[in-house]
Amino acid sequence: TEAWRPDDDGRRGAAGPVRVRVPAKVNLHLGVGPLRRDGYHELNTVYHAISIHDELTARRGDTLALTMEGEGAGELALDDSNLVIRAAHALAGYAGVMPHARLHLRKQIPLAGGLAGGSADAAAALVACDALWGTGLSRDELAGIAADLGSDVPFLIHGGTALGTGRGEAVSPVLARPSSWHWVVAIADGGLSTPAAYRELDRLRDAGTAGVPLGSTDALLAALRQRDPRVLAATLGNDLQDAALAMRPALADTLKAGEAAGALAGIVSGSGPTCVFLAADASDAERIAGELDTAGVCRQARTAHGPVAGARIV
C-alpha cells in the first residue's frame, strides 16, 4: 500500500489507488418485529460477516465514475441510483469535498441475494473515498452516514459479529474469535426483492399463517461464546424464511439437500434466496458444498468462514 501524503498539487488524501475489501453478511438470528410507521420493521438481529468479499478500488478523477466486473456486471445500473455512487455523494456532502473519484467494483457477492452485497459496496465506498479524499472520519462517523444509505450498511463498516436493533442500523459488537465457524453458502439463480419479502411476511402474519416469531437472541449469543457448532446450529433462525419460501418454494429443496448432506443446520440468509448451512468444520463444509453443487439445488455452492473484518483497506 502507498503512503498517504499530499500529492503534487498539495491535495489531501491518497495519491495512488485505494483498495477496500468488504465482506458479505448473514443473519444468524433475524427477528422481525412489527411494521413501523416509517415503513421499516423493528429488528432484533445478529449479523455475522463471512469470507465472501467484494473489492472496491478508488482512484483520483475529475468526475465521479463507476465501473464493475464479476457478479451482476451488466445487470446493475452504474448511475446515481447505485448505492456506491450514493455513498460517495453522501460522504462528499458530509465532509464538504468534491465527489470526484474513479471507482471500480469487483463483485463476488450476488445481487439481491440476502447477503447485503449492495450494502457492502456502499460501506466499501465510504471507507475508500474517506482515504482517497483524506477526509479522515472515524468509523462511528462513517457508520452514521452509512445508516442513511441502508439498514445493513453500518454493520458492514464494522464487520465481525454484532447485534442489530432499530431497523438494523444500530449495531453493537459481539466478541467472537475470528474465523470460528464454517459455512456453506448456496447461491440461487436470480434474486429476491427485500421489500417484497418483508411485505410477504406482513401478509402471512395478517393471514395468521406465519410461523411463531423468534424469541430473544440470548440462546444464540450464549452459543456463540462456546466452540461447539452443534450448539450454535440449534439456535439459528430467520423470521423472513417463511416469506422467502413462499416466494421461492424450491428453496425448501435446497435446505433439505444441505441437511441431507450433513449440514448441522440450514437457514435462508436475510431476505433470500441464498441459503447458508453451518458445517462441523472446514473439510465438512467442502464436502457439503460439493454435494450441493452435484444435487443441482443452487447455482453455486461456496464455502466461507466467519466472523471476518468489515470494510478494510488492503
Is 115 annotated to bind a ligand? Reply is yes
- Of the candidates 31, 72, 99, 150, which one interacts with ligand C5P according to CB under 6 A? 150
CB proximity list for 81: less than 8 A, separation 6 or greater: none
Which CB atom, from 4 or from 40, has the smaller least distance to ligand C5P? Answer: 40
Give the C-alpha separation, 155 to 173, whole Å.
9
Is 119 annotated to bind a ligand? Reply is yes
Q: Does 40 bind ligand C5P (CB under 6 A)?
A: yes
Beta bridge partners, 277, equal: 184, 266
Stretch that binds ligand C5P, among 39-47, 210-218, 237-245, 293-301 (CB under 6 A): 39-47
Amino acid at 28: L
Q: Does 164 bind ligand C5P (CB under 6 A)?
A: no
User: Catalytic residue at 152?
Assistant: yes
Measure Cα distances from 166 to 140, 213, 217, 250 in Å. 17, 17, 15, 31
Give the C-alpha separation, 134 to 139, whole Å.
14
Minimum CB–partner distance for residue 149 and ligand C5P (Å): 8
Which CB atom, from 35 or from 176, has the smaller least distance to ligand C5P? Answer: 35
Chain position carrying cell 459488537: 173
Give the C-alpha separation, 145 to 165, whole Å.
17
User: Catalytic residue at 107?
Assistant: no
Binding residues: 110-120
User: Which residues of the chain form contacts with ligand C5P (CB under 6 A)?
Assistant: 39-41, 43, 150-152, 167-168, 194-195, 198
Which residues are tagged catalytic? 25, 152
- Binding-site positions for ATP: 110-120
